[in-house]
Structure 1
């Protein structure tokens, strides 16, 4: 028997209300912009009440924060797994460099929305996101520095600059990548990861 709590948090197909709200918000933010989307439009698109939205998300900028936060958490978990794998550092870095490209493309609307609208976040959430992104970049940089210390990578270019180089390419994906283009996400990821490694090899 379905419990009252389950009915309160999911629709007839079993889709949790927070996921419905995030899906609706993502679609609307992508189509018409964060600042031009009202809370009423979001709850109508999700088929829930304003009370439900405020139960799961305290405000519209909480939704914006979560749109990007869920992607960043996924990428952090995957980067941690690559970094801790039992493999040569060059392999681990290439896997990590390719993965952030693929996961960004797979969540392109989320990423595009966030970088276009992050200035709407309140000071505390903005600070939190910057800290989360910094943790990701520091873990990625640590792989480069490991390879530089061991002589696998050239120490000529500072690791910080290498990180900025790669993530500049990743953040630019939303401006040019098209799902119907000739390159698959994996092919784009492979090319960008190989460019990164070529820049690091002695």
Structure 2
């Protein structure tokens, strides 16, 4: 049902698609639709929730399974990029149609996005405290720059492009860690694999 709705929303827009069209296209009933979703608005919220929940889960896994801030940041950036490969239709539809969401759904989305943002800020703070990241970098501006840089990928990333999502993630990791790490930390052998190699 979600995949059908995504296709229809991309083609006709949120207001250009009725619940009848969704259920007819995917071969279910209106009762089936309303068993899963209270409204079309809730369906749009769930479309967003798919990718933000994935990003939050992966970020938390990075925090829980790594000790060093640099390792945490590398895992977070990599999983963040993969969102655009796994959920590109969800993201495209959400950004096109999110203005139609009702206030309660907007509030829930903002809360999850705030949680993700705070994870990024916390890792930057930790990296500064441990001496891995440059102390002169303002935490919030740095965090928002990372989020903005990676988020914009949904505008240009294509599955059939010249580079895979993994290759793009490696480029982002190189760019971001080269900006974050102190000169001394860049020389540490345990971080060397995070930087692109000359062929």
- Report TM bin, short chain: 0.7 to 0.9
CA contact (8 A) 1:104 1:170 kept: no
The alignment status of 1:82 with 2:62, answered yes or no, reads yes
Range that drifts further, 97-106 or 75-84: 97-106
- Of 118, 130, 137, which aligns to 2:98? 118
The alignment status of 1:64 with 2:44, answered yes or no, reads yes
The equivalent of 1:179 in structure 2 is 159
CA offsets per residue over residues 115-149 of structure 1, 9 Å max, x none? Answer: 22111110111011001110011112211110011
Structure 2: 5+ residue runs without aligned partners? 183-199
- Of 87, 105, 109, which aligns to 1:107? 87
CA distance in 2, matches of 1:32, 1:199: 42
CA distance in 1, matches of 2:134, 2:162: 33
CA distance in 2, matches of 1:194, 1:160: 20
SS at 2:132's partner residue? coil
SS at 2:78's partner residue? helix
CA offsets per residue over residues 43-99 of structure 1, 9 Å max, x none? Answer: 112211111111110000111000110111111111101011133220111111111
Equivalent positions of 1:1-202 (< 5 A) are: 21-202=1-182
**Corresponding pairs, count:** 182
Structure 1: 5+ residue runs without aligned partners? 1-20
Runs of 4+ in structure 1 deviating by more than 3 angstroms, as ranges, are: none
| Cα pair distance change 1:168/1:86, threshold 3 Å | closer
CA contact (8 A) 2:84 2:157 kept: no
CA distance in 1, matches of 2:97, 2:173: 28
Give the CA deviation at 1:105: 2.3
TM-score (ref. length: structure 2): 0.87
TM-score (ref. length: structure 1): 0.85
Give the CA deviation at 1:169: 2.1
Q: Once superposed, what is the RMSD of the aligned Cα atoms?
A: 1.3
